[in-house]
A and B are shown apart, each in its own frame.
Chain A
Amino acid sequence: MIPASFEYKRARSVKAAIELLADGNAKVLSGGHSLVPALKLRLNQPEMLVDIARIASLKGIKVSGKELVIGSTTTHQEIASSDIVKEHLSILAEGAGAIGDVQVRNKGTLGGSLAHADPSADWPALVLVSNAKVVLEGSGGERTLNAADFFTGFFSTALASDEIITEIRFPIPAKGTKSTYQKFVQPASRFALVGCAAMREPSGETRVAFSGVADAAFRDTGIENAISGKTLTAENINHAVSDTAKGQDIMSDHYASEEYRVHLAKVFAKRALMALA
């Protein structure tokens, strides 16, 4: 549990951080709640850590036009307890509040979770279901990606090694939109064995995203197409979830086999949709 030695630099600005990253084998340090355990197990041995946690411009929650904008180093706890978040996009507060325990929520950050892209983390399903955009900045400048394009697979993202996530922009849904996050925990880690995020707009448009089920979080378009615009009756819901997670690369471990995971995904999709009815 002793990491290999590394250099530690605290960046004062995004620009400074990017310059340090351009140097080579460096990693961004935010809340440290995924990176530090990996360092201690020597799964990761960077030469330098660039601490971005104190860059003021990366922190905070605000409304900008039709978007809710959350800085990447904002902690899970700040999001879970934010009145602005609860008012405009309560599913984020609900989901953030379901992460780990108090210590983890007080240190862990939204940007860190997205960059880490643990398939069992809660945030990926939440950003997918809310159609968020991830803003990145690197030596090549700034770019904005749809959440769906940001995640590229098992623990992997579109992030380049000299880029950092600066903020996440969530479209504020229409008034009357309903949402829910339903999580079934892996009992040891309390990450999601299945995390199902669901949103339904007054128009009937429905989005469903999963964490924990497949090698990366995903939107379940099968369910979405089957239920969008239809009334949320038990019969319609049962029908819509019958092919849950179809085509996905389902994970399997000693807590949940592939078959059981898919079963759970169905159960939680059903529960989530029932909760929106």
Chain B
Amino acid sequence: MSNRYIGKSIKRVEDKRFITGKGKYTDDMVLPQQTYAHIVRSPYAHALVKKIDISAALAIEGVVAVFTGDDIRNAGINGVPCGWQVNFKDGTTMKEPSHPLLVGTGDTIKHLGDAVAVVIAEDRNIAADAADAVEVDYEVKNAISNPFEAVQAGATPVHPEVAPNNIAFDWTLGNPRDEVDAAIAASHHVTTLDFINQRVIPNAIEPRVAIGHYDTTSEKYTLYTSTQNPHLIRLMMSAFVLGIPEHKVRVVGPDVGGGFGSKIFHYTEEALVVWASKQIERPVKWTSERSEAFMTDAHGRDHVTKAEMGFDKDGNVMALRVKTYANLGAYLSLFAPAVPTYLHGTLLQGLYTTPKINIDLVGVFTHTNAVDAYRGAGRPEATYLLERLMDLGALEMGMDPADLRFRNFIPPFDGVTQPGYQTQVALQYDSGNYEGVLKRGLEMLDYKGFREDQKEALKNGKLLGVGFSTYVEACGIAPSAVVGSLGARAGLYESAQVRVQPTGKVSVYTGSHSHGQGHETTFVQIVADKFGIPMEDVELIHGDSDTVAFGMGTYGSRSLAVGGSAIMKSIDKILEKGAKIAAHKLEANIDDLEFNEGKWTVKGTDKSISFGDVSLTAYVPHVYPEGLEPGLDFSSFYDPANFTYPFGCHIAVVEIDPETGKVKLKRFLAVDDVGNVINPMIVDGQIHGGLAQGIGQALFEGAIYDDNGQLINGSYMDYCMPRADDLPMFEIDRTVTPCPHNPLGVKGAGEAGCIGSTPAVVNAVIDALWSGGHQVKDILMPLTPERVWRAMQ
């Protein structure tokens, strides 16, 4: 033990290579004999492939091979499966259409960018030219992109055989619907919102890249891929898609330039390059273009919702009733069914004592790209729904939005002396102090002062508004047995191996995957402090299925809570064994030893032995406890006892230009409680990035599919990402309510910023409009100047 690192803002060790341009990403790799793949994609959202003519492409010099959906079909290759099964309310199995690597002749294109063929050539330019030369004869059909329209009678089916009504599953959670109906009917006031939580596109700075390499001598397959999740990709690709032996497959996710969820999933291109490499006996690299990224990286959100919140005459929330149509896209991506259900419906308690809650949800196929987990995954949608209703309810009832929340908050509970909080929607919150974050937020805002400024501004023709969002989320996913009972086809534990080398240097192998989160720093801080050694003596290894035993990857803010806990288990095993060796060397009783600052000391004496000496002894066991194995190397798997539940309060202050409708975000305050904090600077960074994304959804971002299923803003000319000058300096603070059920007391910070912020911004705009006498309930996100201006007309 030492206290040198944990809780300190240690600069990120990985940044040296990143900011000097030395990061090593998949596209930086060039293997001997490497070829280049270019994928031929459908320019239509829904079309029958009548003919694929590859002769002109094959004739181009430098083209190595062209494979089409027909080749894939003839090779008997399966589609990419879904990883989560959500069955219908009546028990019927989820409708799960096949997602082929390439669409063949006689089959149907299901979304813009669906792949038909892959061209492999000696260089990227030739591959691109040859892809242009592949002639595909399409019979274009009607497409459908809105999930509500897709379930209406007569809507064009995406998968006529599998799901003729476009419904993948329907689902409900919470109190019986009739009880909730009754509670709504009995309410003094009901606030109703019909809204769309629009589709957003992740836009990682590094587009996806995959290199498949089949080695003819060893008969081993290697896949280098820009992924958050190497081991799961290996399992899915080997066992379910290509049918190749898992032990002959290595998957490496090297430096990865951001994922935000979109790189969790196993994508068709990964299996395609691996398979193609075997066919041509050369490595095959595919690098996504930015326009392909817009079209084919799994998207996020896309809910059409009606939500009603019933209040009694004092403002106590009596009931919540929700109906949602969740757009899943054309194919079921890995976690797609879980996101709107178990990561969304389960969060509808929010941080309120609402006694009756029910959600009824329909998962819908449309001719659009797949929707899956995107930073926050379901919890932002839940938070948006609840927090919009809270602020709007307050406006409608003439109550103060902060007071309304204080009235309804679940009282503080630490999860140790007080029990966790059992919600109406399946979860048990671990610990929370919800009043605390709102109180702190109001203080930082100077709420009273703001309301005076708002009145004053109005006199000068200015529209100022404040919006609140208090959220709780579930992360650190997740107890395997629990998720298994809910339809997950995988466990969600994590593995860690801590290998102490003979010289006392430490190698840590984690199944978590760092792609921006700074694990090489935070995880090392923990190990170094627990062993009382310098950080320089610890190395973190991740992302390679040949070196790391197993892993479930990084997403759902799980790395520290789950991966970090696995590391803690291995650390404990090392210290336990180390103590035995130390006791033997010191000729002392093990109970008389204490471990501090990197050495075992016999209590009350100056007799001690260092961590390094014990390590050496473990590998040179000449003077050694009888019966003890040599070596100092432990693997552990940690399966969490519960989700963790971070919470917080986000507050936005906006000014609207009444003439143009342009919203200026003047202040943004965030008080988050993510449990114990290992590295405050990294947590701040995670919060900042999350806020930018959440604010981005509120004000700037949104995929637009037209009636033909064309993505009309699939480039940065039209799809607006938030930029630094769109944002104020964030004012952030924290409270600390430790997680009671994991060894580090940590909850997770990766998504909080993105979960809480969106409704705060929209609420602030609505508040500003109401202050100016425009009593609008909702504006479709993103709140572009025109939409805000229209709301004022």
Contact = CB atoms under 8 A, between A and B. Distances in A.
Given A184-B660, A254-B713, A267-B659, A189 B718 contact: yes
A45 to B, nearest CB: 10
B716 interface: yes
B185 interface: no
Kindly name the residue among A5, A41, A184, A187 whose own CB sees the greatest number of chain B CB atoms within 10 A.
A187
A1 B720 contact: no
A66 interface: no
A189 B717 contact: yes
A4 B786 contact: no
B129 interface: yes
Interface of B: 124-125, 128-129, 132, 289-291, 659-660, 662, 700, 704, 712-713, 716-721, 726, 784-786, 789-790
Interface stretch (A69-77, A105-113, A142-150, A255-263): A255-263
A188 B704 contact: no
A62 interface: no
Nearest to A5: B125
Nearest to B123: A2
Interface in A1-17: 1-2, 4-5
Contacts of B660: 184, 264, 267
A42 interface: yes
Given A42-B132, A254-B718, A188 B786 contact: no
Q: Lowest 10 A-B CB distances belong to which pairs?
A: A188-B720, A2-B128, A1-B289, A187-B720, A189-B717, A260-B786, A267-B659, A188-B718, A256-B786, A2-B125
A187 B784 contact: yes
A254 B712 contact: yes
Nearest to B657: A267
Interface in A88-114: none
B419 to A, nearest CB: 48
Contacts of B129: 4-5
Contacts of A2: 124-125, 128, 289
Nearest to B700: A187
Interface string A183-198: 0100111000000000
Interface of A: 1-2, 4-5, 41-42, 184, 187-189, 254-257, 260, 263-264, 267
Contacts of A187: 700, 720, 726, 784
Nearest to A187: B720
Contacts of B716: 188-189
Contacts of B132: 4, 42
Contacts of A188: 700, 713, 716-721
A34 to B, nearest CB: 11
22 contacts: A1-B290, A1-B291, A2-B124, A2-B128, A2-B289, A4-B129, A5-B129, A41-B291, A184-B662, A184-B785, A187-B700, A187-B720, A187-B784, A188-B716, A188-B717, A188-B721, A189-B717, A254-B704, A254-B713, A257-B786, A260-B789, A267-B660
A2 B287 CA distance: 11
A1 B721 CA distance: 20
Nearest to A264: B660
Best-buried of A5, A41, A188, A267 by chain B (most CB within 10 Å): A188
Contacts of A263: 789
Q: Tell which of A189, A260, A267 has the most Cβ of chain B within 10 Å.
A: A260
A244 B409 CA distance: 53
Given A1-B291, A188-B718, A264-B660, 13 more contacts: A1-B289, A2-B124, A2-B125, A2-B289, A4-B128, A41-B291, A184-B660, A187-B784, A188-B700, A188-B720, A189-B716, A254-B704, A267-B659
A264 B289 CA distance: 35
Nearest to B706: A254
Contacts of B713: 188, 254
Nearest to A42: B132
Nearest to B704: A254
A199 to B, nearest CB: 23
Contact of B784 (A41, A42, A189, A255): A255
A187 B782 CA distance: 11
